[in-house]
Amino acid sequence: MEMLGSIVGNIISLVGKYCNYHIEADEHVKNLKRKSELLESREEDIKSKLDLELHPGKKPKQEVKLWLQNVEKIKDDIDIGQEPARWMLTSHMQRGERAFKKTKLVEELYQAGDFTDGLVIDLPKCIGKMMPPPTLVGESTAHRTKEDILACLLDNDVGKISVYGMGGIGKTTVMKEVNNFFLNESNKFESVIWVTVSKEFDLIKLQNDIACRLKLELPKFEDEIIRAAELYTALKDRKYVLILDDLWEAFALEDVGIPEPTSTNGCKLVLTTCLLDVCRGMSCKEIKMELLLKEKARKLFLNKMGHDVFNIPNLKHIAEEVLKSCAQLPLAIIMIAGSFKSLFHDFEWRNALEELRTSVQGSNNMEEQVLQTLKFSYERLKEEKLKQCLLHCALYPEDFQINKRELIEHLIDEGIIARMKSREIAFDSGYSILEKLENACLLEGGSDKYYDDKEKFVKMHDLVRDMVLQVASPEFMVEGHLDFSAEGKWRENLVKVSLMYNKISRIPSNVSPICPNLSTLLLQGNWSIENVPDSLFEHLHRLKVLDLSYTAIESLPISIFSLENLATLRLRRCGNLKQVPSLAKLTTLRKLDLGETGITEVPNGLEMLVNLEFLDLNAYELKVMPLGILPKLSHLQYLKVYWGSKATVVNEEEMASLKELETSAGSFDDVDKFNMYIKSLENRRLSCYQIQVGMRGDGPYVFFIPLFGFIGKKVIFENCNLKGGDESLVLLEDLQFLEIGRCDDLRSLCDVPSLKHTSKLQRISVDRCEGIEHVLSFSSSCTLPLLQTLETLELVCSDSLRVLFKKERAASAWVPSDTFSRLKIIYISFCSKIKKLLPPGLLPHLRNLEEIHIDYCLEVEEIIGEASDEFEEKKEEGMDTTKITLPKLRVLQLHDLYGLKTICSSSKVIVCDSLEWIQICSCPKLKRLPLSLPLLSNGQLSPPPSLKKISAREAWWELLEWDCPNTKNVLQPFLL
């Protein structure tokens, strides 16, 4: 009976429920509609919020992605926002039941969408190196290949990919695009590792290159197996793409320490090669890069020509033949177009076409035809020195970045650039040569951010280098891993031999090549060479250029000093070389480079080198510069003497005797001797100089000088008395960089009247000058041209400094219009008394200001002061006085400023649309960044679009950095 009663009760309850479904069906449907609308609103809000937060380096949480998928599913199941059409044919009761149940699901989903702890998470920072943005030649072919590569890389079932095709077809260019794609746009890989392998496969070098990209240091003296184990350990738990560019032979991954790519570990290997056998030997998915389609080849040819030769009646047919000879290969098209673009008349084109046809006749295969085509571009060079320059570039290793200044120095040493009346003219000639070769597409240009604009690199394409060496053969020998005892290598007709950067560890004691015509021997960069045997030079009587730089040699063989034709001896950075025997016999020597060697004394017999034009004695341990030597070296154009020691100061009278000197670096005892030397120059001009006057009180001072020579015009005063009348100090009009250290008599730069003679001053640095109270005063008695040319102002450890700029009572309250109009960088550090930095009247002139760095100035309260009687803010009609505009400001760095309260007045904002980096570290009183920023729809201020990075630090041990625009939580408190 109990069981029966229970069953009856359940039936009654069930009937009641379904009766309720029937009675309240319309209400259930309305409730579902209302709840569905709320869910849809939450979905839209979450998507909008994701759009704001989802930036490179971030990804949606998995639970957020799943929630959005579930919302889409339920939206498909019911027509949210209206009565479900598919229910119209069901009974009233069934509609009520379904609406009730769906409402519960919608409610649960709505509650699950309350992601209070955020929507996104950080991705691991991708390690890799962005490549200079390449231009894809032959767009359709290159882009198709790129898409094929990306598809394979995103396919879990493909681990190893090979891109193969002819040299010069554009494989490396496409892979640069792929490299940049995964660093920029994809969150799939933690590391994108690029390594250029080249023909001479070197397992240890490959291991080192991969480790370098991972910022891993492998044990130097362990064997390959141990090193492979270390590399394997570093790679096995990392998702990476390893790109091996220009591979010429297959190898076993385990020998290097590369984990086998699998669908489980998600790693990928991509290689480029000219050889299909390499692809198959590495068991790769093969992607062939095809030649250009004819229409794309035509487009590339016209692009490089710069004008449409196919529309010129007399040239159209010839141009078609020229293009056809390029065989649709991008490199050949680029180079041939470079050769023909300077031709204008039809007879010139016909003649050049005939030469091109002749050069490729008899070629048995495509590769040989390409080499012959490139040879044509070489042969078409009008100037012999252009060809000789290319030949010299081929002496460098494959894929080597050749510094332009070093290269031009070597071209001068080789006589390729004739000796001229000045080094400056010779360098102009050198830059002109390189420019012509780049324009002819025979050299590739490149730059390095650490060097001056002219301090750039050039590279040779592998195929161009092969062609040049083919032209040079058999007079050139350029070898890797050469065994000195190898028979047949040291031919009698050799003229130039390059063994640079070859990891040669020793030269056999009995090696004695018989090369009577050899003029150049380059052994630099073989760091392990400790000894050079006497026998090496026994039969090299015509040797003119010898380079042993960057080696570990401890002494020079005596036989070197019997080389009567030797004109250049380069020993730079031979740190173990402590002493050099007498140089007296090397009277033909024009260049002697002992920079950064370990020598302690000037070599004996130096005064006998009367033809010397270049002398570098910038050796840190050099004890003394003897008197009587320099006057005998009357042809010196370049002289550098170590300037960090009192022992190596130069004599002003001896320096004055060097009438041909153009480039000079050295030290003088005091201001009087410096003045005497400067006055002795009379109408002569130094193209480059770096001179120190006086000595630092705390020991030697090491100055930065670019690796391949130095450029610029710089003077450093240390512990000198600079204050005095007009004649107290003599400065050259073309002075560019001025450093003043520990000159405590200075109250202001206005105390150095001779500064008014300088018209090209770009940088001033004032360091530990205890007496300086202000940098400049604006008055009728202090009118310095540096105000119009200065680009960098540095002030360090000057405790008496109270203001940067001071107005004398009689001076105008307005700052002259051209004052600091070129100023780019302001750097102030450890100036404890200064409170306010920039007067508002100066700001309109700082239109080129790019960086502000203020460190450890404990009493600084305000960066931009209020207008005052001292400096009025000049107001123009229609000018918005609530805004301070700094249009080029990129970096704002405020570091350990414990008294800093504000950047500027609370009534003003700063407009700087170029801002890239903000650093606010240990500035506890600073509560606001007065930046003029766009307002988002949610009421929050947005970071500047240009902003890339924010650094914040609360204490010295905690430094945090964020890549923008993922910085809202850091930046927002300062924007309130």
Ranges of each domain in the chain: 1-81+89-117, 140-288, 294-380, 384-473, 595-699, 712-823, 860-865+883-975
Q: How far apart are CA 357 and CA 339, in angstroms?
A: 14
Across the chain, what does the average pLDDT equal?
82
For residue 134, give the DSSP letter.
Answer: -
Question: What's the whole-number mean pLDDT along residues 62-70?
Answer: 84
CB-CB contact of 477 with 489 (8 Å): yes
Beta-bridged to residue 242, according to DSSP, are: 193, 269
The secondary structure element, H or E, covering residue 763 is strand 763-767
Per-residue model confidence (pLDDT) at position 166: 82
Chain centroid to Cα 17, Å, comes to 74
- Cα distances (Å, whole numbers) of residue 686 to 333, 360, 682, 803: 45, 51, 11, 36
CB-CB contact of 233 with 282 (8 Å): no
Question: Which of 564-578, 601-615, 893-907 is predicted least confidently?
Answer: 893-907
Backbone angles phi, psi at 717, to 5 degrees: -110, 125
Q: How far apart are CA 212 and CA 196, in angstroms?
A: 13
Beta-bridged to residue 638, according to DSSP, are: 614, 663
For residue 448, give the DSSP letter.
Answer: -
Q: How far apart are CA 76 and CA 68, in angstroms?
A: 13
Q: Report which listed range, 37-51, 376-390, 469-483, is most confident.
A: 376-390
- Long-range interactions of 832-835: CB distance < 8 A, separation 24+: 832/799, 832/857, 832/858, 832/859, 833/799, 833/800, 833/801, 833/802, 833/859, 834/801, 834/802, 834/803, 834/804, 834/859, 834/860, 835/802, 835/859, 835/860, 835/861, 835/862, 835/899
pLDDT digits (tens, 9 = 90+) for 326-352: 888 888 888 888 888 888 889 999 998
pLDDT of 123 above 60? no
- Tokens representing 217 are 């240091």
pLDDT of 708 above 50? no
- Tokens representing 609 are 């080198």
End-to-end CA distance of the chain: 75
Burial class, 626, CB count within 10 angstroms (exposed 0-12 / middle 13-18 / buried 19+) = exposed
Look up the CATH number of domain 140-288: 3.40.50.300
**Residue 606: closest CA among 588, 568, 579, 633:** 633
Residue 407 pLDDT class (50, 70, 90 cuts)? very high
pLDDT digits (tens, 9 = 90+) for 221-235: 678 888 899 899 888
Residue 533 pLDDT class (50, 70, 90 cuts)? very high
Instruction: Using DSSP, state whether 16 is helix, strand or coil.
Output: helix
Instruction: Please report the sign of the dihedral spanned by the C-alpha atoms of residue 961, residue 967, residue 968, residue 969.
Output: negative
CB-CB contact of 929 with 918 (8 Å): yes
Per-residue model confidence (pLDDT) at position 452: 45
- Cα distances (Å, whole numbers) of residue 101 to 91, 840, 890: 16, 69, 58
Q: How far apart are CA 925 and CA 873, in angstroms?
A: 26
pLDDT of 815 above 90? no
The secondary structure element, H or E, covering residue 717 is strand 713-718
Does a cis peptide bond (omega within 30 degrees of 0) precede residue 965? Answer: yes
Give the architecture-level CATH label for domain 384-473: Orthogonal Bundle (1.10)
Beta-bridged to residue 521, according to DSSP, are: 497, 546
Residue 940 pLDDT class (50, 70, 90 cuts)? low
- Tokens representing 850 are 């790019």
Tell me whether strands 120-122 and 58-60 are parallel, antiparallel or unpaired.
Answer: antiparallel
Instruction: Please report the sign of the dihedral spanned by the C-alpha atoms of residue 499, residue 503, residue 507, residue 511.
Output: negative
- Tokens representing 382 are 């009008």
pLDDT of 921 above 80? yes
CB-CB contact of 870 with 845 (8 Å): no
**Residue 246: closest CA among 310, 203, 201:** 201
Chain centroid to Cα 408, Å, comes to 22
- Runs of H (alpha helix) within 451-527: 462-472
Does a cis peptide bond (omega within 30 degrees of 0) precede residue 474? Answer: yes
The secondary structure element, H or E, covering residue 740 is strand 737-741
pLDDT of 850 above 60? yes
Beta-bridged to residue 402, according to DSSP, are: 458
Tell me whether strands 285-288 and 160-164 are parallel, antiparallel or unpaired.
Answer: parallel
CB-CB contact of 294 with 248 (8 Å): no
Q: How far apart are CA 477 and CA 690, in angstroms?
A: 39
Question: What's the whole-number mean pLDDT along residues 311-325?
Answer: 88
**Residue 429: closest CA among 394, 480, 383, 378:** 383
For residue 480, give the DSSP letter.
Answer: S
Per-residue model confidence (pLDDT) at position 805: 80
Q: E strands along 79-215, which residues?
A: 120-122, 127-128, 160-164, 191-198
Which of the pair, 896 or 968, is modelled with greater confidence?
896
**Residue 430: closest CA among 411, 413, 457, 447:** 411
Q: How far apart are CA 668 and CA 652, in angstroms?
A: 7
Torsion of CA 722, 723, 726, 727, to 10 degrees: -50
Residue 241 pLDDT class (50, 70, 90 cuts)? very high
Work out the number of other CB atoms within 10 angstroms of the CB of residue 882.
Answer: 10
Burial class, 313, CB count within 10 angstroms (exposed 0-12 / middle 13-18 / buried 19+) = exposed
pLDDT digits (tens, 9 = 90+) for 571-602: 999 999 999 999 999 999 999 999 999 999 99
pLDDT of 973 above 60? no
Question: What's the whole-number mean pLDDT along residues 398-409?
Answer: 92
